[in-house]
Amino acid sequence: MIKKLLHLETKTINSAAVILAASSFVSGLLGLFRDRLLASSFGAGKELDIYYTAFRIPDFISMVLIVGSISAAVIPLFSKHLVKSKEEAFRFFGNLLNAFLFLLVILSIFLITFAPQILKIIAPGFSEEDLGKTVDLTRIMFLSPLLLGISNMISGVLRVFKRFIITSLSPILYNLGIIIGILAFVPFWGLSGLAWGVVLGAFLHFIIQIPILFKLGFSPAKSLRFLDPGVIETVKLTLPRTLGLAATQINLIVITAIGSTLSAGSIAVFNLANNLQGLIVTFIASSFSVAAFPFLSLYFSENNRKKFSEEFSSIFKKILFYIIPASLLMFILRAQIVRIVLGSGRFSWSDTQLTAASLGIFSLGIFAFGLSLLISKTFYALHNTRIPALVAVFSILLNAAFSFLFIWLMKTENIFSREVISFLDLRGVEGVLVLALPLALSISGIIQFILLLFFIDLKCKEIEVKALIRFSFKVILAGVALSVVALTARIFSVGLLDMKTFWGVFLQTLSSAVAGSAAYILFSFFLKIGEVAAIKDFVFSKLPKNKNLSQDY
């Protein structure tokens, strides 16, 4: 039964998105548990600053070289070869896998050797002792991009074959490995146990997919041909995407470098808040975007422009319809969310306040992060990686400039700093300079989304961008109703619940979220937003069949 389930082929974007969303939800819950363990064990202090900084170089390699190649080249090019024959597609993939693995090993050896020099640039504010610990963790974690690199390339191929169930399990196992590291390795090895947990997670991410890949007919290539036409074409498509992803990762490196010069715990606060907002992007936007990408690539290969534009518009609306209420609820209930997820052990009240404020700022740009992901993948399906790359590079420059500008403004007494501190209720809290980092990232992300939408309108005239904008206004109006109701419910519940207990905070969050969501759905019906019909159909499909009831309705 389990074997059949893992081999099950997913035939529609919606069903694939549901599988990925369910996986993201489970993985997200494990991620929340992981972060709670980290926060309670270490607090938002130097130790977590070291841990998150150690991630930067290995994550850079994994995201830029491997994940970039999947998004930009592996899926569309494998699909192109698969149209001819499965054997040709696997020959292309086998040689490509060998070439990228060889490159990754050489690059990893080089970066492991020069990790101390590189980390001095990434964390200029660290002491020599903290820098030494960061170097040790980084060198251990370099095993993870090797495993994740291979695993993510395999995931791309399995998604072409629509095996979304097995690929959706990999991130769950990755988080499980890190949790095992926190619970089992840290008591014996300290911070190094966190790094070994990451390696264990990467191994589990990789090993679960191998049997399915071989079952589909893959056999490892014994040759290594760098001048193979498939490799050359992959490099041509990958290079601009690599530059774009490099810009995104450099963005995080710049933030880490700046954060290392601020008060201890700033890097931890930023990353914990970023992880929380990332759950919405992953659960909603990434699920739909990843599911849509193979289909969009296939429609483009078949020159079916009408179907291509229809699917893009449909996924755009779905993402927006779900991501707006989620981000609004995250903003309204930011303090409650942080208290529930992270508020235990060594995670202090000031840590909670700063993380909640950062989360509130992040929530303003969640829609842009999510929709930018979809538009970028749409460009990749069009075999156009140059535009997303250039826009991403421009975004990183904006983010760096905004970061320095907002830190400068927050350092002095002025109307900007007073309004930000007052709005986020941080009077008397130390370490508020960290707020400049999520604020800069959110604003640059919104500008990036606007530019990508502008260029997709130029490049693909079949997509009706004006219709999408009109739809967005309807969603925003429904979001206003949600905000009013959720905020009212939050204030009203204070007098009914004991807010000093976990369950009091949990019930306040749950009741406010449910009330706000109900208002959003009802107002969406009133505005005749088409996406809400899917919710209605789902609910009524679960009710007992009654002809008279159906006719009355």
pLDDT in tens, 502-549: 889 999 999 999 999 999 999 998 888 876 765 555 444 444 444 443
Residue 408, pLDDT score: 92
Residue 43, Ramachandran bin (φ over 0: left; ψ between -120 and 50: alpha; else beta): left
Sign of CA dihedral 138, 441, 343, 511: negative
Closest by CA to 337, choosing from 186, 95, 508, 126, is: 508
Side-chain-facing half-sphere of 117: CA atoms under 13 Å = 5
Question: What value does the mean pLDDT take over residues 441-447?
Answer: 94
Of the candidate ranges 219-233, 342-356, 527-541, the one whose mean pLDDT is the lowest = 527-541
Copy the structure tokens of residue 545: 């069949």
How many distinct helices (H) and strands (E) make up the chain? Answer: 27, 0
CA distances from 140 to 128, 188, 194, 196, 269 (A): 19, 16, 10, 7, 24
Distance CA 530, CA 507 (A): 31
Sign of CA dihedral 419, 423, 426, 431: negative
Angle, CA 252 vertex, CA 250 and CA 253 arms, to 5°: 60
Contact 334, 414 (CB under 8 A): no
100 or 355, greater pLDDT: 355
Of the candidate ranges 227-241, 315-329, 527-541, the one whose mean pLDDT is the lowest = 527-541
Sign of CA dihedral 297, 299, 303, 304: negative
Q: List, for residues 354-394, the tens digit of each pLDDT value.
A: 999 999 999 999 999 999 988 988 887 887 878 888 898 89
Sign of CA dihedral 100, 104, 107, 109: negative
Q: List, for residues 267-278, the tens digit of each pLDDT value.
A: 999 999 998 998
Side-chain-facing half-sphere of 300: CA atoms under 13 Å = 23
Contact 178, 27 (CB under 8 A): no
| Backbone phi, psi, residue 305, to 5° | -65, -35
- Residue 485, pLDDT > 60, answer yes
14 or 310, greater pLDDT: 310
Question: What value does the mean pLDDT take over residues 311-323?
Answer: 90
Name the one residue in this structure whose structure tokens are 């070869």.
81
Distance CA 207, CA 226 (A): 26
Distance CA 119, CA 284 (A): 34
Contact 215, 157 (CB under 8 A): no
Sign of CA dihedral 222, 223, 224, 227: negative
Distant-in-sequence, close-in-space partners of 456: CB < 8 Å, separation ≥ 6: 375, 378, 379, 463, 465
Copy the structure tokens of residue 326: 């989620």
Distance CA 152, CA 242 (A): 15
Of the candidate ranges 4-8, 120-124, 188-192, 344-348, the one whose mean pLDDT is the lowest = 4-8
Question: What value does the mean pLDDT take over residues 329-354?
Answer: 89
Q: 553 pLDDT band (50/70/90 cuts)?
A: very low
Instruction: Report the b/e string of 129-164 with b at 16+ CB within 10 A.
Output: ebbebbbbbbbbbbbbbbbbbbbbbbbbbbbbbbbb
Residue 180, pLDDT score: 94
Residue 534, pLDDT score: 59
Contact 484, 519 (CB under 8 A): yes
Q: List, for residues 398-411, the tens digit of each pLDDT value.
A: 999 999 999 999 98
Distance CA 542, CA 123 (A): 54
Q: Maximum CA pair distance of the chain?
A: 76
With H, G, I as helix, E, B as strand and everything else as coil, classify residue 519.
helix
Distance CA 119, CA 249 (A): 15
Residue 539, pLDDT score: 47
With H, G, I as helix, E, B as strand and everything else as coil, classify residue 546.
coil
